[in-house]
Amino acid sequence: MEYHDAFEPYVVVRSDTEWRFDERLLERMADKAIYCRTLHANGFVLRVLPDAFVIHLPHAVSQGVRQQQVVRGYGSCASVISDESKRELRRRHPDVKF
């Protein structure tokens, strides 16, 4: 499996799954991509549904995007958190290819 963090995957998992979304990750900083890596590392098999579509409807700008626009250093901080999360995942799962 080859990962590209620039893509924003949408996944459906049972709500009682052991692997929760890492809430340290900030919006728009590979949060969903890292969650998919976490699921993959823990044995989930990820598949693309062939005839299913997700439509992204226009919506108001989120608080995370607003903060990126007005808080100096927000993007840099978010990148550091994202990179650290990936390093932690690689340390915990050294045999898994990402």
Q: Read off the tokens for 72.
A: 């100096």
pLDDT band at 88 (very low <50, low <70, confident <90, very high): very high
For the chain, first and last CA: distance in Å? 7
Cβ neighbours of 36 (radius 10 Å): 21
What is the predicted pLDDT for the residue at 54? 82
Using one digit for the tens of pLDDT, what is the confidence trace for 20-75?
A: 888 888 776 778 888 888 998 999 988 888 888 888 888 888 877 788 788 888 88
Which pLDDT belongs to residue 6? Answer: 64
Q: How far apart are CA 64 and CA 79, in angstroms?
A: 13
Predicted TM-score (pTM) of the model is 0.72
